[in-house]
Amino acid sequence: MTTDQDLPDWKVFWTERRLCHLATNRPDGTPHLVPVVVTYDEETGIARIITNDGSTKVRNIEAAARDGRAAWVAVSQADRGRWTTLEGPAVVRREPEAVAEAVRRYAERYSQPRPNPQRVAIEIQVRRVLGSVKVPVPAPEDE
């Protein structure tokens, strides 16, 4: 049986049940900050958020893509002096398998979410990590 003492500090921090905040940019450039819950996949370097289709955060990410810009976002969590901010380009995923994977990870960290036919997943490809608790990020593949 694995205990918290067997896990790296970052993994304990990113598996504890806690609220995070997501920052996106509105089309006019002003910030939009909203509480969310996040999971992080160390193997792929992807942070995932489940949300309702059509939410402001979804609209902001998709507006950037329509304008030909990367939707660079930041998601952060803190606990007193411990904190991490993950930054990178985000995409909205509607494919059933992508949403199901985000829900599965959400259920592992938080609890099983209620059914929601309007659910989508936001995936953030983490490119920069700030904070006192650093998560491992895989090297980006050549693009």
Torsion of CA 74, 88, 60, 48, to 10 degrees: -80
Residue 67 belongs to a domain? yes
Q: How many domains does one find in the chain?
A: 1
Return the number of other C-beta atoms located less than 10 Å from residue 103's C-beta. Answer: 19
The pLDDT value recorded for residue 11 is 86
84, 130 contact by CB (below 8 A):
yes
CATH of the domain at 67: 2.30.110.10
Residue 137 belongs to a domain? no
Residue 56 belongs to a domain? yes
The pLDDT value recorded for residue 65 is 87
Rounded distance between C-alpha atoms, residue 5 and residue 130, angstroms: 24
pLDDT (mean) for 22-31: 95
Identify the domain containing residue 9 by its residue range: 4-127
DSSP class per residue in 58-70:
HHHHHHHHHTT--
Residue 143 belongs to a domain? no
* pTM summary value: 0.90
Residue 133 belongs to a domain? no
Residue 32 belongs to a domain? yes
CA atoms 92, 98, 103, 105: torsion sign: negative
Rounded distance between C-alpha atoms, residue 38 and residue 78, angstroms: 12
Question: Which stretch of 3-12, 40-49, 51-60, 110-119 has the lowest confidence by average pLDDT?
Answer: 3-12
What one-letter code names the amino acid at 85? Answer: T
Residue 85 belongs to a domain? yes
Residue 132 belongs to a domain? no
